[in-house]
Chains A and B, each alone.
Chain A
Amino acid sequence: MVRKLMEGSEFVAETVRLCKPDVVSAYPITPQTHIVENLAKLAADGKIKSKFLEVESEFSAISSVVGAVAAGSRAFTATSSQGLALMHEVLFAASGMRLPIVMVIANRALSAPINIWNDHSDTMAERDSGWIQLYCETVQETVDTLIQAYKIAEDKRVLLPIMVCMDGFILTHTIEPADLPDEKDVDEFLPKYNPTHAVLDPERPMTLGPFAYPEPYFDLKKEFEEAMENSKEIISEVNEEFAKKFNRKYGNGLVEEYKNDKKIAIVAMGSVCGTLREVVDKRKDTGLVKLKCYRPFPKEELIKAFKGKKTVIVLEKAVAYGLDSGPIFAEIRDVLYSLKEKPKVIGIIAGLGGVDVKIKQVNKVIDNSKKMKDGEVVWMKT
């Protein structure tokens, strides 16, 4: 293991090198650009053996990756915001065919108005695309999650594509010290992808993504949801296995609790959890519940984390327009509905389009939360 000081995007590129994909295909878009730049450099210098495809759009990037994985290889792509939106149609094809693609998302706001800074509106718009979504708090967590993602996706009990989400600029462009695992250790942890369910091979013809009549279509969708639910167990398992080998662990792989033995719990995803750790460190009444895995939604783990809470505050960087709240807020309230003693749930919409989330403002909302009604949503701005 080597401790290095590099930009987040360079760490991602170096981690991709360690994961040894057969095909890398991506189209540059801010703030994901440096990931692709670094990968192109590694490919040009002969440091990765992957076939590097220079495509003309994100639609082609994801389509070529679908083709590569359908042919039985391991592939990597990365995108952001509008690029992810352009991939929309193919995302469903990839998950429906159960292709274990791993894609890094540098989270960025969606147009209009055009904005290049971080929020979660791009990945939230794809929350029902059938992709597993894992959100990272730090560059180190992104490195570790990326390695784990291939192992989870390619597990025969899962076979689902994964988005590894890192906050645009905040993580992609920050120079941060992190440990880059040794190649030998990653090789041991991550064996070669050996698919049997779907391989395009002229010797053994198969049809992928065929036409399905209503009844088999319905059955396939039900089976798909079961695979999603089952994947929680494997995500936790891989998190444990990773911890044994690399000595780093992120909660149970789904949810990470930090000083969560107090009356109030604040829930969030991604890099903002770093800020919230500062908040929680100085407060006697509030703990942090970091939602690492958003899809599949870890209902049981969240119920456990919220046990005995008076108030649950959900801070999120996305809006479910027409619902007057964020999507995570709505889902967490749904989870808590089954409890006998329901905590009060308060929503915070923050950081849209890259607005800074500041300790002072979070403290203000927590202070006011006693007076607030259940279901109230605050739009928090600098």
Chain B
Amino acid sequence: MKKSESKVSTGGVIKEPGSSKVVKTGAWRNFRPVVTDKCIGCGTCVMFCPEGCIKIVDKKAKIDYDYCKGCLICVVECPVKAIEKKQEEK
């Protein structure tokens, strides 16, 4: 019976949780959402962020740029237009 020398698990199953933290998807970003002073800390962007990487810290939205892919949904949804779109510099 053949036995593979590779280190892959059967079916590619990952048994340790938290592997999605390893890949910093922030590198995919073309546009950066930037929170300005207009932010009222309402938390609308927190609810809409598909990556779950916005938090309210000291009554202001704080974006985790390690994982923000730059989809800009927060820019569109902000009720007071407090998030600005900036070009990422590579």
**Interface positions of A (Cβ within 8 A of B):** 96-99, 157, 159, 197-198, 204-210, 212, 216, 219-220, 222-223, 226, 229-230, 233
The answer on a CB contact under 8 Å between B8 and A223 is yes
Contact A219 B10 (CB under 8 A): no
Contact at B11–A222, with CB atoms within 8 Å?
no
> Given A219-B6, A233-B1, are A197 and B12 neighbors across the interface (CB < 8 Å)?
no
Q: Given the known A-B contacts A207-B19, A210-B19, are A222 and B13 also in contact in the complex, defined by CB atoms under 8 Å?
A: no
B14 interface contact, C-beta 8 A: yes
How far does the Cβ of A210 sit from chain B's closest Cβ, in whole Å? 5
Q: Return the chain A residue nearest B11 by Cβ.
A: A98
B1-22 vs A: 1/0 string, CB under 8 Å?
A: 1111011111111110101000
Residue numbers of B with Cβ under 8 A of A are 1-4, 6-15, 17, 19
Contact of A226 with B12 in the complex, beta carbons under 8 Å: no
The distance in angstroms between the C-alpha atoms of A99 and B19, with both chains bound, is: 22
Q: A98 to chain B: which residues have CB within 8 Å?
A: 10-11
Q: Is the CB of B17 within 8 A of A197?
A: no
Sample of 6 more A-B contacts, CB < 8 Å, known A206-B13, A207-B17, A223-B6: A97-B11, A97-B13, A98-B10, A207-B13, A212-B12, A222-B6
A76 to B33, CA, bound (A): 48
Return the 3 tightest CB-CB contacts between A and B, nearest first.
A98-B11, A219-B6, A207-B14
Rounded to whole Å, the gap between the CB of B58 and the closest CB of chain A is 32
Task: Write the chain A residue with the least CB distance to B13.
Answer: A198
Q: How far is the CA of A216 from the CA of B19 in the complex (A)?
A: 15
